[in-house]
Amino acid sequence: MPIKINFKTLINCSSTYCSYYYLKNLVYLLVMKVTAKEMADAKIPLSARDYCAHLLIPLLKCRKDTYFAPWKCEHEKHAWDRCQYDE
């Protein structure tokens, strides 16, 4: 989820994974919550390594543990879909 911040705070953003956009004079900062090593260890495809990767890791683990039963991982799937929609 985006974090509401001040424009003055954005100027000091030096992270590699920082990006921003403007919406009605508010600045939203999107920050990666998992590292590249964590994504590689979880075997996340390169195409899915975005700001919602922190939700994809538990989803993939749930799918693997339940042999891909679609009704077992509904909460994780919904959280990841919502993050993708918001991003």
Per-residue pLDDT tens over the stretch 2-13:
555 555 455 555
| Tally of CA atoms within 13 A in the half-sphere of 51 that contains its CB | 18
What pLDDT is stored for residue 24 in this prediction? 44
pLDDT in tens, 34-62: 999 999 999 999 999 999 999 999 999 99
Q: What is the DSSP letter of 21?
A: E
Determine if the pTM surpasses 0.75. Answer: no
Helix, strand, coil percentages for the chain (3-state, nearest 5): 45, 15, 40
Torsion angle defined by CA atoms of residues 12, 14, 18 and 20, in that order, rounded to the nearest 10 degrees: 30
User: How does the average pLDDT of the chain come out, rounded?
Assistant: 79
Percent residues over pLDDT 90 in the chain: 60
Residue with tokens 């974090």: 3
